[in-house]
Amino acid sequence: MAENKETTSVNLTPHNIVLVDEKGNSIKEFPTEGSVRLSSHTIKAGVLFLHRSSGRTIHCYSGWFFRGGEAPPVSGEKCSECGADPGNGAAGYSACCGAEEVQASSDEMNWDIIPLTETVFGEVEGLPEYKKGTYYIVSSLVAQACPDRSDLLIVNETVRDEQGRICGCKSFSVNPFLSSGGGKNE
C-alpha cells in the first residue's frame, strides 16, 4: 500500500490561486510566493490590412501598400494599375507594371493597419531546483518548457465567474508535459 507523505505546494505564478470544491466554495488559497516565467522577446511578423468598408483582410509580410491606397493584389488577382497578375514575390507580394510600392499610413487609405508580432520564448527564469516533497505551481508555459520536472503542478478544472474570468480551480494537474521516464515527486 502506498504511504502518504507530507508535501509542500509553492505558488510561483504572479497571482493567488483558489482551490474550490464541486459547488465552487473556496477550500484553500495559495498566495503567490514569487514568479517563474519564460524569458521572451517580440519580433515583427508583418501586418494585417483590414479594409474599412468591405472587411476584407490581407496579411502582408512586408508592410507595404501599392500607391493609391490599394492593397497589393495576391497571385491570381488583377493589379488595379494595369490589370495584370503580379505573382507572389518574396515579401508576399511583388509589383507588376511598375506600380511603385509606397509605405502609407492608414489615414491615407481606406485600410486599417494591424501590426502582427510573434513572441519567441526562451529559458525558464526563477524556478527553484528540485526539492524532494515540494511541488511548485507554475504556468502551463513553464511546465511545458520543463518536461523533466515531475515537481511542477498547473491549475486544472478551472472555474469561471459570470464575466468568464478564472476565479479558481478544482484540482491541480501534475506536469502534463512530463517526458517518458519522468517519475513521481517522492
| Residue 179: pLDDT band with limits 50, 70, 90 | confident
For 136-164, how does the pLDDT look when each residue is reduced to its tens digit (9 = 90+)?
999 999 999 999 999 999 999 999 999 99
Determine the Cα–Cα distance for residues 125 and 140; give it in Å rounded to an integer: 14
Asked if pLDDT for residue 30 goes beyond 60, the answer is yes
Q: Which three three-digit cell numbers place residue 119?
A: 513572441
How many helices (H) and strands (E) in the chain? 1, 11
Give the residue ranges of DSSP H helices in 91-176: 140-145
* pTM above threshold 0.85: no
The Cα angle at residue 12 between residues 10 and 13, in degrees rounded to 5: 130
What value does the CA radius of gyration of the chain take, rounded to a whole number of Å? 26
For 57-99, how does the pLDDT look when each residue is reduced to its tens digit (9 = 90+)?
766 655 444 434 445 444 455 545 455 444 443 333 444 444 3
Strand partners, 160: 166
